[in-house]
Each structure stands twice: as C-alpha cells, then as structure tokens.
Amino acid sequence: MTLTGGRFEVRLSGSGGQGLMLGGKLLAEAASVYDGKNSVQTQSYGPEARGGKSKTDVVISTEEIDYPKATKVDVLLAMTQVAADEYADSLKDGGLMVVDSYLVDSVAREGAVQIPFTMLAVEHCGRMLFANVVALGAIAELTGVVEWDSLSSAVMARVPEGTEELNQKALDIGREAARSARGKQS
C-alpha cells in the first residue's frame, strides 16, 4: 500500500492527550515539506480534549487537494477501543486498520494490524507519551506513504530539545513492530 498517484487518506484516532494531533502534523509535514507532495491535516476533538475522543485526518496527494477532509480513509489508526468502534466504518474497502493492541481489545475489521504501541513506548522509551511516534513509525513502514527519512526529519524538527534520541528510538521501534506484525500476517 503506497501512494503511487492521486489521493491517500490517513485517520489517526484515539483520545485526547495521546498526541494524535501532533502525529497528524508530523505526517503531513513529512509528506509536504520533506517529500514534496501536497498534504493537508484537519483535526476534530471536543471540549473533552484531555481524555475524550479525538481524531486527525491527513490527506496526502501527488496532485492538487481540492477537498481537505477525509471521506473514506486508506489507513485508520485506532489508539483506543472507542476509536476502533467509532471510526471502523470510515475505512474504505481494502483499507488498512492499525490498532494499539494494548488498549484495543476487539476489532470488528478482519486483517487489522495489531501492535501494542503504548506498551512498546513504555517498555523502550520509558513513557507512554511516545506511543504516537511509535505508531507513526509503524504506519510509515506499513504504507510507504512517506519516505522514512522524511518522517524522521519531520519528527526531529518538532520534538523538544533533548528528546531527539528517544523520539528516533520510538520511530525505529514502530518500524520494527510493523515488520514483525506484517510477518505474522503472511
């Protein structure tokens, strides 16, 4: 699953405080600033931004983007059970669903890639707040929608000083987890 032409839609969903808005910005910047594609990022969350449901959509295209919102997503990341339940229908036929198996117990979609992003972030980076970056590493590896170096550059340009090494580690862990998950699906 790669962007070979046209439009590619990604939805990152979960709950407020999981860093999904930042994740969407990083993915969009990797595509536009570093890969030279067109991208737009939109976000939606209510007053419950710290703990309630949230989502961000990223549209990436090699062509002009005439409508900035996702209609039927190619990739759905669900970081919570609520997100998995609520947004599964937004995935297009043949789309890829990726879930945080640490926080999502059941998936209504056959063939979903299940990776424990939160657990991996805590285990390898010491804090769950790196789960969004672990997930981005996995999405980049599973889809190829952005170049690996572009995503890494976008992340390094945005993270707080002194956290570069941990964020790069989080990306790498996500990449390796995706490779392992892909091997299990074959």
Averaged over 5-32, what is the pLDDT? 93
**pTM of the predicted structure, to 2 decimals:** 0.92
Any domain includes 1: no
> Is the model's pLDDT at 47 over the cut of 60?
no
Supply angle C-alpha 87, 91, 95, rounded to 5: 140
Any domain includes 111: yes
The structural domain count of the chain equals: 1
Crossing angle for the helix pair 20-29 and 131-143, to the nearest 10 degrees = 40
Burial tier of 68 (Cβ tally within 10 Å: 0-12, 13-18, 19+):
exposed
Structural domain that includes position 127:
7-185
Any domain includes 149: yes
Any domain includes 2: no
Choice between 4 and 5, residue whose per-residue pLDDT is larger: 5
Structural contact between residues 56 and 68, judged by C-beta atoms closer than 8 angstroms: no
Any domain includes 88: yes
Q: Which two tokens stand for residue 20?
A: 């999904």
Averaged over 151-159, what is the pLDDT? 97
Q: Which residues of the chain form beta strands (DSSP E)?
A: 7-15, 38-45, 53-61, 73-78, 91-100, 113-115
Do β-strands 38-45 and 7-15 pair in parallel, antiparallel, or remain unpaired?
unpaired
User: Residue 59's domain is classified under what CATH number?
Assistant: 3.40.920.10
Any domain includes 40: yes
Any domain includes 58: yes
> Is the model's pLDDT at 51 over the cut of 80?
no
> Is the model's pLDDT at 1 over the cut of 60?
no
Collapse the DSSP code of 104 into the 3-class scheme (helix H, G, I; strand E, B; otherwise coil) and give the result.
coil
Any domain includes 155: yes
How many angstroms separate the CA atoms of 79 and 129, rounded?
Answer: 12
Give the whole-number percent of the chain exceeding pLDDT 70: 92
